[in-house]
């Protein structure tokens, strides 16, 4: 049985439209992966120094479980846990030709003591709606880069992210930064 030509044409157009409109599903590993994009230093005219900078990196994750909600404070994401922060950032200074991990100290006026400044952060929940949870994008984080207790001027950061399944991404590094 032969279909009339108008029906054949309609079916062909329908098939072409159907195949053409299908989104290609992105496939990423369920372990997050990140790539360094840039670091931009920010000048503070009041202090006449570069005291902050913006770290930007690309991320991708196959099951989209990147980020935490504000109420994610029960184990393993409780404040005393190593998983409380899901963006882990480490600060290094070039000291006598060698990179050394050092804490950034700041004076806490309430306690009148020096405290260690935490550079790590909590990425908000980025899980997309829908069936396909694969996600990719750019993340920016503003960091303090000036260690008032140090005379060294060359620094570097390392960073990685942790998803809600506690999978750790690869670690990225900034190039050396002169502050």
d(CA 173, CA 179): 16
Quick one: tokens of 80? 């005393």
Give alpha helix (H) positions in the chain: 5-21
pLDDT of residue 26: 74
Contacts of 148 (CB under 8 A, 6+ apart): 105, 106
pLDDT of residue 135: 96
9 pLDDT tier (thresholds 50, 70, 90) = very low
> How does DSSP classify residue 7?
H
* Domains of the chain listed by start with CATH number: 25-178 (2.60.40)
pLDDT of residue 105: 83
d(CA 44, CA 52): 8
Count of CB atoms within 10 A of residue 44's CB?
11
Quick one: tokens of 2? 């032969």
Quick one: tokens of 49? 């120094």
More confident residue, 155 or 1: 155
Contacts of 21 (CB under 8 A, 6+ apart): none
4 pLDDT tier (thresholds 50, 70, 90) = low
pTM to 2 decimal places: 0.83
Q: Give how far the C-alpha of residue 84 lies from the chain's centroid of Cα atoms, to the nearest Å.
A: 15
Q: Could you tell me if 72 and 85 are in contact, meaning their C-beta atoms sit under 8 angstroms apart?
A: no
Per-residue pLDDT, averaged over 72-83, amounts to 97
Cα distances (Å, whole numbers) of residue 104 to 30, 152, 166, 169:
33, 12, 27, 24
Q: Could you tell me if 58 and 138 are in contact, meaning their C-beta atoms sit under 8 angstroms apart?
A: yes
pLDDT of residue 20: 47
pLDDT by residue (tens digit) across 145-178? 988 889 999 999 999 999 999 999 999 999 999 9
First and final C-alpha spacing in the chain:
79
pLDDT of residue 178: 93
Percent of all residues in the chain with a pLDDT value above 90, rounded to a whole number: 69
pLDDT by residue (tens digit) across 81-140? 999 999 999 999 999 999 999 998 887 888 888 888 899 999 999 999 888 899 999 999
Contacts of 2 (CB under 8 A, 6+ apart): none
pLDDT of residue 2: 54
pLDDT by residue (tens digit) across 29-56? 999 999 999 999 999 999 999 999 999 9
Of 14-18, 23-27, 67-71, 138-142, the poorest mean pLDDT is in 14-18
């Amino acid at each position: 049985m032969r279909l009339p030509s108008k029906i054949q044409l309609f079916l062909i157009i329908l098939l072409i439209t159907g195949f053409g409109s299908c989104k290609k599903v992105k496939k990423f590993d369920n372990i997050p992966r990140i790539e360094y994009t840039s670091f931009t230093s920010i000048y503070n005219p009041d202090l006449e120094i570069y005291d902050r900078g913006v770290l930007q990196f690309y991320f991708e994750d196959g099951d989209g479980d990147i980020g935490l909600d504000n109420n994610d404070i029960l184990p393993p994401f409780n404040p005393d846990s190593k998983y409380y922060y899901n963006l882990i950032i480490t600060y290094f200074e070039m000291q006598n030709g060698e990179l050394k991990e050092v804490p950034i100290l700041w004076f806490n006026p309430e306690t009148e003591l020096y405290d260690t400044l935490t550079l790590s952060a909590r990425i908000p929940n980025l899980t997309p709606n829908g069936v396909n949870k694969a996600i990719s994008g750019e993340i920016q984080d503003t960091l303090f880069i000036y260690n008032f207790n140090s005379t060294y001027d060359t620094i570097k950061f390392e960073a990685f992210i942790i998803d809600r399944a506690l999978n750790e991404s690869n670690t990225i590094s900034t190039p050396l930064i002169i502050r």
